[in-house]
Structure formats: C-alpha cells, structure tokens
Structure 1
Amino acid sequence: MDLTKITLPTQILERRSLLELYATFFTHADLFLNISSFETPRDRMVAMVGWYMSAYHVSLKPKRPKKPYNPVLGEIFRCFYRVDDEAATTSPRASRDGPLPWAKSSDLVFLAEQVSHQPPISAFYAECPTRQISCQAYVHTKTQFRGAYAVVQLVGKGKVMLHSHNEEFHCNFPTVYIR
C-alpha cells in the first residue's frame, strides 16, 4: 500500500499552502538583506550560511510537523517583508516594475508559483532592489514512508545573487526525516 496516495483529513494538515510555507525562508529578512553589506567574500559567505540555517529553523518550528496543502497548477503566493531603510524611496508605489507594485523598493518582495503538476514543482523568487540582492529557486518534494518514519526530500536548487558584488551562491535543499 502506497501511503503517499492516501487522502489526509484536513484537521491534521497545516492551514496554509506549500507556496506560503516557502515564504518562511525569508522570515529573517534582515539576515538575508545584510548578506551584501559585508566587505569580504568570506564574510558574505558566512552571512549567507547564517541566513540559510535560520530559514530552516523558522520553517521547522512547529512541535508536530504537518503537511501543507498541495498548491494547484498556476497557484501564486505573493507577500513582502517591510524593511526599515533610510535609502528607500518614500513613494509607496516605488517598485512598479517589480512583482508587487504596491511594495516599496526597500521591501523584500516574495513571489511563488506552482509551475508543474506532475512532478509537483514550485518556483519562488525574492528581491530587494535597494539592497541589490535577489534569490530564485525551484523545489520538488518527494515523500517516502519507511516503517516508523517518513522521509521528505526537497529536490531542487536555489541561487542567491548579490548584484552589487557580481556574486552568486548556489544551494541545495535538505532531506527531512520525520519520526
């Protein structure tokens, strides 16, 4: 019997879509945005790892992990994180060309979309124009049940771009074991 094909009752599901769950990677927006402010490539790499690790600490916070709702093909989730920045453009419609026209140029804007149904692949993008930093990624989840535990593989790639330094950081997603 394939347990990945069983329909779960809604009370044991997380109350949000998988696309919204990916936005929690940027809960510590300050750590993400400060990556490009460091002087040396080594310090920027250390800051990148710090943000990357904090993203998983926040997203795995619930005591009992729950399965989020599967997004439908073409589903989109958009949000932004308000960041205090003196260099920000004061107009609330400063980034009309970006993914969220109502966000300021100093805000960290996040956009996720379900781009494939079989296999289920999600893509997301985050940017802050004033800090000249962006992130793009795609991820596909694979679930396996192995006796007393479940394995959730996050298959995909992420790329953080520091435009002012002409640097890119490439990262993979971890495998999660749930007991």
Structure 2
Amino acid sequence: MVTEGKEERTAVLTKPFSIEGESDVDHKPPNLIQRILSLFTNVRPGSDLTRMQLPPLFNVPKSQLQCFSEPLYCVNNDMLERCNNKNNPVDRFCAVVAWNISLLRPLNFGFAPYNPILGETHHASRGSLNVLVEQISHHPPVTALHATDDEQNVELLWCQHPNPKFYGTKVETEVRGKRLLKLLNHGETYEMKSPKLLIKFLPVPGVDWVGKDTIQCHESGLSAELDYGSKYFFGLRGGHRSIKGKIFETSTMRPLFEIDGQWDRTVTVKDINSGKFEVIYNAEKTISGLKTPIVKDQREIWPSESAIVWSEVSQGILSKDWAKAREAKTAVEEKQRELLRERESKGETWVPKHFTVSYSNESGWDCLPIRMKVPPAPIIFQL
C-alpha cells in the first residue's frame, strides 16, 4: 500500500497476456467494434496516434510498461537460462532466437494499455531476474528497460519508441529502437529489433505482429532474419500466425538454418547441412495459463509504479464502473498536465530517475541505466 498525503492506494495487478488471448478477457464493453470505428471518424490517414487519449472503455487494466516488460518475467520456463547454458555459439544463437520469439503475445482486438505518464515505472522480479522499466519521454513516448540476473550473469538493455499511424482500415505501429541481450559469461551481445504491430478493422477485425525482425551477434558472427505473417490473410480467419526466416553467417551470408512455424504454436529450425529438424519453441508450454503476479511487500512499492498510478482506473474497469474509471483516468492525465505547466513556468527540465538519456538524428534514442544492477522487486511472478 502506498500513501500519498492522506490517500492510500493499493497496487492493482491483472493477468499477463498469454496464449489464450481474447478468450482470457473478462472486461469487454458492449458494441466494441462500433465504438472503435467511432474513434477514428475525424482522424486523417497517416496521422500520428501517440497523442490520442482513449476512454477507459478501450483500455486493458494495465499500463504499456507492464505489457512491455511482462514477456520477460511472466513465463512458465526460463528460456534465458537455456540461452546461457548452451555450450557453443551456434546453439546459443538458436536459443536466443527462440527466446526472442517468446516475447510475442497474442493481443486482444479493441483494447489498448494505458499510455504511461512521464516518470512512471514498473519493477518486477521472477526468481533471480529483476526487471525495471521507466517512461523517459512522453511526447514522443519512449520507454527504457534494464534487467539483470546475477545468478545467470545476464543483462538486458532496451530503449524503444512506438510510432503508431492510422491508415483508414488499419493502424500500424512501428516499434523503433533496439534491444540488447548480454550473455556476460560468454562475452556475447545480441542486438534485436521488433516486428510491427498491425491492428485491422476491415474486412475482419484483428491484431497481429507482422513484418521483419532481425537478430545479430558480432562476437559469434551470426545473424537471423525473421518474417512474421498475418493471421488474417485476405480477410479470412483461421490461418496461423506464421514465422519464417533463416540463421546465417554474417560475413559470408551463408545460410545455416531455416526457421519455420507459428509463433503462437511451435517453431522449428532445420539444419541446412544435415536436414535435421528441431523444435526450438513451444508457445503452449511457455506462455499458456500464466498466473497473475503478486505483491510481496506493499510498503516497498514506489509511488511511480504502474500498478499504483493506474490503480483506481483499473478498479473501475474490472468492476465495469465506467464512470469511476473515466473520472480516475482524467485525474491522472490532468495531474500530468499540471506538473508540466509547473516545470515550464519554472524553466525546469524533467530528468529520468533510473536512466541517462541521449538522442541523435543518426542513432535515435539511447538509454543507459544509472545503476549496474536492478534490485529485487516487491512485485514477483511466482515460479
């Protein structure tokens, strides 16, 4: 429980996104499609949607920071440990490819998480893996993530900037920025990007990950290219969320493995030389039936924690008290506007608490953690 003046607020946590997707949602409002289409009546094609404020009817009861980081710690098996424990660079690279695929979750059409406020944080742990996320910019929205695992000697550094745009019958979100995974025991750094998030309204509503993804490790000289296909091919449901790609030597472009499967089912690699197949990822085993994280100690939760900032909004959504949710969300947003006005009147610049931030036209946003290690969190995912 966090006390702000005389106000006591309790963290509200909800189930992480898992393989169940839309069947796992219990807070759908009525007439959802009509409400969604009504939002875009006055939006021009190609418009930047990062400043668009959604009413709570269209929100899942959690922040984008939670959605961004949950795939790291809300899993049924430790795929990062598998990456670290492989004996040779090729096997480790294949394991990293599988781990990268495991970060994707089936999302629910018609719902979006809360846009994080400036300085909002999410701090959670799974075993020895500790994860910290901070919203370091609001316009444009930029999120920094740092995760460390002392037992595995693994570190993650992410800095991402989603860029959603409206194109008549769809919204496409390009996820700019890079993700770094460091296997420190092996002196290897893996740099990866993200596919696009596609939200289609017509002819069949749906949400999918589509487009290209890349993974590269300079130390091992290996790279991967992944291509994600839509489930809604020519508007017909029932297809699989396909993934195809290859792993190759970076210097010669010589292919070593072919990747094929469905990222919400199973993915295999084929050794081009031997013809041998191996299942490297099973979504059902990894992300099905995920439990809700718990609060280990309410007293240790920061006031900036997502589950605290949006607690009253989430309570309203979960109880389907839309008036309460709308009032609470307006209060959060108006408080941020007030703080912005105060900073501007004093000529102050907001500074992130957990990261140092830089920006250049050539490389974009860069975020470095202030502390070498992320401490254990009061919010935990139970093994």
Q: TM-score when scaled to structure 1?
A: 0.79
Asked whether 1:54 is paired with 2:75, we answer: no
Identity %: 26
Secondary structure of the 2:53 match is coil
Higher relative contact order, chain-length normalized (CA < 8 Å, sep 6+): 2
Deviation at 1:153, TM superposition (A): 1.1
> Which AA in structure 1 matches 2:138?
H
Contact kept, 8 Å, 2:109 with 2:199, in 1: the verdict is: no
Secondary structure of the 2:185 match is coil
Contact kept, 8 Å, 2:58 with 2:110, in 1: the verdict is: no
Q: Aligned partners of 1:109, 1:168: CA distance in 2, in Å?
A: 19
C-alpha RMSD over aligned residues:
1.6
- 1:66 corresponds in structure 2 to 111
Deviation at 1:6, TM superposition (A): 4.0
After TM superposition, the structure 1 = structure 2 runs for residues 104-123 of structure 1, keeping only pairs within 5 Å, are 107-123=128-144
Secondary structure of the 2:151 match is helix
Contact kept, 8 Å, 1:145 with 1:151, in 2: the verdict is: yes
Q: Aligned partners of 2:166, 2:120: CA distance in 1, in Å?
A: 27
- 1:16 corresponds in structure 2 to 62
CA radius of gyration, larger in: 2
Give per-residue Cα distances to partners, 1:54-98, cap 9 Å, x unaligned: 111xx3x2442521111111111100012xxxxxxxxxxxxxxxx
Q: Aligned partners of 1:176, 1:74: CA distance in 2, in Å?
A: 25
Secondary structure of the 2:96 match is helix
Secondary structure of the 2:175 match is strand
Q: Aligned partners of 2:110, 2:146: CA distance in 1, in Å?
A: 25
Secondary structure of the 2:103 match is helix
Q: Aligned partners of 1:62, 1:157: CA distance in 2, in Å?
A: 22
Deviation at 1:24, TM superposition (A): 2.0
Give per-residue Cα distances to partners, 1:28-71, cap 9 Å, x unaligned: 36012221100010111100010110111xx3x24425211111
- 1:136 corresponds in structure 2 to 157
Which residue, out of 147, 150, 162, partners 2:183? 162
- 2:266 corresponds in structure 1 to none
Give per-residue Cα distances to partners, 1:99-144, cap 9 Å, x unaligned: xxxxxxxx11110000112211000011111101111101111111
Contact kept, 8 Å, 1:19 with 1:113, in 2: the verdict is: yes
Contact kept, 8 Å, 1:33 with 1:128, in 2: the verdict is: no
Q: TM-score when scaled to structure 2?
A: 0.38
After TM superposition, the structure 1 = structure 2 runs for residues 18-57 of structure 1, keeping only pairs within 5 Å, are 18-26=64-72, 27-28=74-75, 30-56=78-104
Q: Aligned partners of 2:152, 2:110: CA distance in 1, in Å?
A: 34
- 2:168 corresponds in structure 1 to 147
* Structure 2: runs of 5 or more not aligned: 1-41, 201-383
Q: Aligned partners of 1:120, 1:32: CA distance in 2, in Å?
A: 28
Secondary structure of the 2:78 match is helix
For these two proteins, the number of residue pairs brought into alignment is 152
